[in-house]
Amino acid sequence: MAIRQVNGRYYVYFTWKKHRIETVTAAKSMAEAKRIEKDVKSAFRVYRFDNLDTAALEFVVKTFENKGWALPLELHRSEPRQEMTLIDIVKEFLKADQKHRAERNIYCVDRLVEHFGEAFPLKEIKVAQIKEYQRTRQQKVANGTVNRELAVLSSILRVQVEHENIDFNPCLLVKRLPSNQRDSYLSREDFDNLLDHSGWIRDLLVVLYYTGMRFNEVVNLRWEMYKPDRRMLILPSDMTKEGKNPNKTKLRPKRIPLRKEVVDLLERLRTADGKNVVKAVGLVLGYCGKFTDRDGMYEGKPIDRFMIRKCWARAIRLAGISGLQLRDFRHTWKTNAQRSGMDPAVRNLILGHSGQRSVEDRYIRVSDQELLKSVDAMSFDHGWTELDLVEES
């Protein structure tokens, strides 16, 4: 082996298995070149290259590439990994679990992408950036909305922690904002007025008002869940919010007792095709507006919040109750139940909550008859409309 210097660069050349090798090194001095020469000589003798330092390893790789030889396994250069961006980790989040593709999660993802941008690097999502997002959004929407959006961001980053792309979830160091409790009530008179202007979403509003169910529970109702002999809706636990709580391992199906107003509505829908035809399967409520074959709309299409937004906005404007939100129906039902003297344990069982129930609630088994008796005794005129007006965009 020998070393020669050409234009300030040091070349090591030698013969190995009758092959003449001459390769430039990264050495900055003769002493460094001699050290590389010594290490390389030993490595070629035993044909092991995994213990070489960076400079000697670079020499060996160049030698193999110049000769067109296949690199030993320990010398294979891994392809440089493309830097992950926000849109990349969002896609992984949505693929990880079907539940991640819920409508409200998609809404939150859209807001995150609007703020950070699709190309925002994963490694740049730090505590300071998250707090800045929190401050910016707090100026536009309610605290609860900001908390929900950051909860989705935390879930997105948790997937990356599981994939070992990051070591820590920075959202864990960001405090949640104090929630703004929305205390709203819709009077019976205003509800009746709203129905007069509700168009094709009338049936949806009736079910929301008289049952206290969540919007997603109502629009996903199927005829298989309707039990007319029991005057009940039986919802599988996996379609309720409390059933989706990862901390709950086993839940009974949710029972929704039905008042006469809802039973009459369901029976009318069930026999809409004729007295001799009774629907037994399929969605209970689907799209029935006037726009069909337009923007993918068709009669019977599953309903989501996006589809009803124009009809809902028109209804509350004409009824003179702008600011009313769909979730206010659930608040109103709970208020009516409380003011009608309903047992709190029965009320909580009907409403269902994703958080932890009290010890008392967990050990009470309420019969169908008790549930039906409680809703039949409810009254729905307990004052005038009160709205907690909070802008959410």
Per-residue tokens: 38: 């010594």
Residues in the chain, total: 393
Percent of the chain with pLDDT over 70: 89
Half-sphere exposure of 69 (CA within 13 A, CB side): 13
CA dist 277 and 184 (Å) reads: 41
Q: Does the pLDDT at position 392 exceed 50?
A: no
pLDDT greater than 50 at residue 391: no
Look at residue 93 in the predicted model and tell me its pLDDT: 94
- CA distances to 28, 41, 44, 160, 356 from 10, rounded to whole Å, are 8, 16, 19, 45, 72
Q: How much is the mean pLDDT over the chain?
A: 86
Task: For residue 87, give the amino acid letter.
Answer: I
Distance from C-alpha of 123 to C-alpha of 106, rounded to nearest angstrom: 22
The SS3 assignment for 24 reads: strand
| β partners of residue 79 | none
Structure tokens that stand for 370 in this block: 């008790």
Range 77-93 average pLDDT: 81
* The token pair that represents 365 in the structure block: 């088994």
Neighbours of 366 (CB within 10 A): 16
What digits encode the pLDDT tens for the residues 215-271? 999 999 999 999 999 999 999 987 777 665 555 555 678 899 999 999 999 999 988
* pTM, two decimal places: 0.64
* Residue corresponding to tokens 């809409």: 272
Evaluate whether 332 touches 185 at the Cβ level (below 8 Å). yes
Tokens encoding 210: 């008289």
What's domain 188-283+309-376's architecture?
Orthogonal Bundle (1.10)
Q: How confident is the model at residue 357 (pLDDT cuts 50, 70, 90)?
A: low
CATH superfamily for domain 86-173: Tyrosine recombinase, N-terminal domain (1.10.150.130)
Bin 360: left if φ > 0, else alpha if -120 < ψ < 50, else beta. Answer: alpha
DSSP-derived secondary structure for 27-55: -SSHHHHHHHHHHHHHHHHHT--TT--HH
pLDDT digits (tens, 9 = 90+) for 282-294: 999 988 877 766 6
State the average pLDDT over residues 301-325: 90
Lowest mean pLDDT among 8-12, 171-175, 336-340: 8-12
More confident residue, 46 or 297: 46
- Check pLDDT > 50 for residue 393: no
pLDDT category of residue 121 using cuts at 50, 70 and 90: very high
From the centroid of its chain, how far is CA 262? 31
pLDDT of 209 strictly over 90: yes
- Give the pLDDT confidence score for residue 77 in this predicted structure: 58
Q: 361 pLDDT exceeds 70?
A: no
Closest residue by Cα to residue 108 from 54, 81, 147, 79: 147
* Residues 157-176, mean pLDDT to the nearest whole number: 92
* For residues 336-353, average pLDDT: 89
Q: With b meaning 16 or more CB within 10 Å and e meaning fewer, what string describes 22-56? A: ebebebeeeeebebbbebbeebbeeeebeebeebb
- Give exposure, 178-212, as e/b (b: 16+ Cβ within 10 Å): eeeeeebbbbbebbebbbeebbbbbbbbbbbbbbb
Alpha carbon distances (Å) from 390 to 16, 111, 147, 181: 79, 18, 15, 10
Residue range(s) of every CATH 1.10.150.130 domain in the chain: 86-173
Identify the H or E element spanning 232.
Answer: strand 232-235
In the chain, list all ranges with CATH 1.10.443: 188-283+309-376
Residue 359, pLDDT score: 44
pLDDT at 320: 93
Q: Rounded to the nearest 5 degrees, what angle is found at the Cα of 59, between the Cα atoms of 58 and 60?
A: 90
